[in-house]
Structure 1
């Protein structure tokens, strides 16, 4: 059985999330859970932006690549990503001595592309408006005999991302977690954390115009992003269609979705900078934006995940200007 057929046949579960958490704890310290006052209510912010690659994606990449066989490691991996998954796979591949090829959009943030290359991965660019990254990556993997590592539609990746939820559960004061507000692109992080935290209410947050997970949850079936979606600064959250795997987990957990505007994202980035001393990329700030904008009411026992910091300086300045 090939690695890819194993991936298709395997269903992520909480036991897998717990195993991933043990593996990740052996190489990385937990990211902090920081208190933040919103309207007189203390919420808790999980600072995944402080990971070595500046984003949570290191988790799923490490769980996936560290489970490869010796033969698979020699053949290498192929991934596709606008940047954070790319860096996660490149980081794990370098540490494990695995050749890595990453398919990235030509207009990916310069900081993310430079970091991916600096980590030793081979980058192949494409035009996100006219070419399919999945097709390109699939062809490259077939040519190389490599393992394809999707950014969210993969059981190992989902379980690895869910290790952030295991940490949150252990870090919450008194263990009293009532609600998790979390960024969502393809839903790997949100679904993994939903498996990790079965008692928490889960709210997935997406940029306005790209809220396919929220629309799908409301409709009870997968609804793709419509034609000609608007500009979003959240390059990490530009998923046009969620996967049955991530959608099924979130639907089964009764998750809900909300969307936020560019202005609301900028306000959250400013707040994180001034109140927490953290730099967030737009996609990494959407969950906080939903709370700051009042689209998700702050409640006791709420955790908000800050998923990444990899933003070009010019974009950060433009988003945080008052």
Structure 2
């Protein structure tokens, strides 16, 4: 599953951000950011596999609908996950967002997907992959963590709060965290970017702006030439709260709604970000004609508008 969002071209007071969401924590993080940015969150559901060529042959209508949603989006989220199902579709979505300057946020596996796509498309390493999906790849840009065990069940993940140090102080991510030099965020993963390939990536324009204390475990990526193309190995959605949205989700929503420059200029201080959308650090939710800040329907999920199509696994 991958997540898309779009900003419907309606009058300002009726602008709607539409996302395809799977995890509740991701949904809530997007909702928190949307409230601060004064946008309505609308959920759409799209399976990443529907973007793949095999779907074009087997179910052309499904393929066409998935691509229409992606092409109509103003932002793309590729979340965490395990296994190789839908991976090619996620790579396709990351490529579309990168090439078409669509705001993008990759979380955990989503960041790894962005790295794989960059290796394949920009570095020309057509068989580049994660060893999770292709153990025999000649260009393993994502690898199993050295401290992990492939033979023991349980307790093999890198879990819990870990510190990320920003290596590029003026990058978008650091500014969104309030010009922080480091940030503590929660992790849940077994694979990571191959540190031996980092110089090759950075020489081609992909910036690894955040890493752990050793400088070898990559935590945050950005494309400086892109309006908003960010990936995080950690899960920023886990610490998002009402009135205090996750920094990276706020950046995504702000970029999709044309507010990123204002957000960055205020260095991620939520009480100062959007004076017309905040009061004393608390979000102001505008009352629309239907009396609701978050539009709902028969497909409503936790106050967020849905098309009612359900989740594709």
Q: Common fold, TM-score beyond 0.5? A: no
Query: Which structure shows the bigger proportion of residues in strand conformation?
Result: 2
More helix by share: 1
How does the TM-score come out when normalised to structure 1? 0.31
- Larger radius of gyration between Structure 1 and Structure 2: 2
